[in-house]
Amino acid sequence: METPLSSRQINYYNVVEPYLSHGNKPGDREYLAKILKNWSPEVDPDHVIGWALHYAISKRDDVAFQMMIDSGVSVTVRQTQDPGFTPLFAAAQYGTLAMARFFWEQVGPKGRFLPTRNFRPGQLTCLRVAARNGQTDVMAYFLEVWDGWQDEMDRALLDAASAWCDDTVALLLAKASFEPRVVQDALCKSVSRRMILAENPTKRPPTVEEHLCQQRLVCRLIDAGGNPNAEDYLSNEPLINIAASYKDCIGAVIGLLEKGANPNRPGPQGRTALYCLFNQREGMYRRKHHASTDAFRVLLHHGALPDLADDDGETPLHAVARNGTLEQVKLCLSHIQAVRSKRECLESRNSSGESVLDCAKMENDEVSKFLSSHFR
């Protein structure tokens, strides 16, 4: 929650604000120099100049940062807005190694925790912030400069895995030994959607490179001892089902299958990854959208069965007919096992008495017409 500015703070913020809004255009540092020429703690007792310091850190502007330090700007001034990071934490998030080193030298190990009114176990540290923001060089420095991180290493690994930061996970695995349960927990977190960080809450779809990063991350954690055929300890769903349940997690699907995950392992309701792929989640809710054909092909290539019924008699083919494209339905039918005819599969009914054709008629007109014309 952001702290409201007083009238005095607003007045000085109006002085600082032009520096904040220029970006990295020429003249920024000249304007900053003019501010600093007349700045002092007496002029700005609330240290509103901290906005400028944090802005320079976010832009990785070592020159502007040094200008403010040389002028006496506090090395502990916190962000006014959420998440209220100190300069050390901001440097751990997106600053340069030189910035992180400077602030650590000023505040030392005591500054590793995010200040709160009451200390509590598991309190956020600068190591975790660096780990989950992919700041490999900064995290390596923290690990080198101080040897008291033992209690934080597990949390740092889990945060990095949750944020799909393969490089920092690799560094942590190289620098420390982790119990098998911690590695498995990290694997569980890596196959789900990327963690939304308090310090970077913007939601955007993963890029192709980030999908590849998730794939490498999943493979790395399995190589470190994670079990690709294990279940999530909260939902009891196989990890492959969790990955298939989210449209953004094709990297995890591919990584798990490459490392031997069974695509036909049923979850608590007897549903397999292929079924989950066509009943995907969007956040907490299930939304209708077309599943990735690439993920679909990968699952089929690794032996996923389209006609394997769950506890309610529903097969992945039911789900594809309901939510898939015509191309996906044709692809699914081409992988039906020879021991069962396609007609037999299409006529199989779930516990509500619905056949595959019934599912298509209710929600997928194009597929319904195709099935009706080809399998009378």
How confident is the model over 339-368, as a mean pLDDT? 82
- Residue 321 falls inside a structural domain: yes
SS3 225: coil
84: in domain: no
Calculate what percentage of the chain has a pLDDT beyond 90: 68
Q: Is residue 287 part of a domain?
A: yes
131/149 Cα distance (integer angstroms): 13
Least confident piece of the model among 34-38, 114-118, 240-244, 335-339 = 335-339
Taking a C-beta distance cutoff of 8 angstroms, is the pair 367, 323 a contact? Answer: no
- Does residue 52 fall inside a structural domain? no
74-83 pLDDT tens trace: 999 999 888 9
Q: How confident is the model at residue 360 (pLDDT cuts 50, 70, 90)?
A: confident
Q: Is the pLDDT of residue 129 over 90?
A: yes
In whole angstroms, what separates CA 201 from the centre of its chain? 11
Q: How many domains in the chain?
A: 1
Helix axis angle, 50-58 to 62-70, nearest 10°: 150
Does residue 355 form part of some domain?
Answer: yes
Lookup: tokens for 195: 């963690």
Containing domain of residue 360, as a range? 228-376
Give the pLDDT of residue 339.
46
pLDDT (0 to 100) of residue 128: 98
Burial of 337 (0-12, 13-18, 19+ CB in 10 A): exposed
Domain assignment of residue 345, yes or no:
yes
pLDDT at position 146, please? 97
What pLDDT, in 10s, does the model give residues 164-189? 999 999 999 999 999 999 999 999 99
* Domain CATH number, residue 340: 1.25.40.20
Whole-Å CA distances, 273 to 219, 256, 339: 18, 11, 22
Query: What local confidence, expressed as pLDDT, does residue 285 receive?
Result: 46
Residue 146 belongs to a domain? no
- The pLDDT score that the predictor gives to residue 136 is 98
Are 242 and 235 contacting, i.e. CB atoms less than 8 angstroms apart? yes
Rounded to an integer, what distance in angstroms lies between the CA atom of residue 317 and that of residue 278?
Answer: 9
Preceding peptide of 263 cis, ω within 30°: no
Residue 366 has pLDDT above 80, yes or no: yes
367 domain residue, yes or no: yes
SS3 366: helix
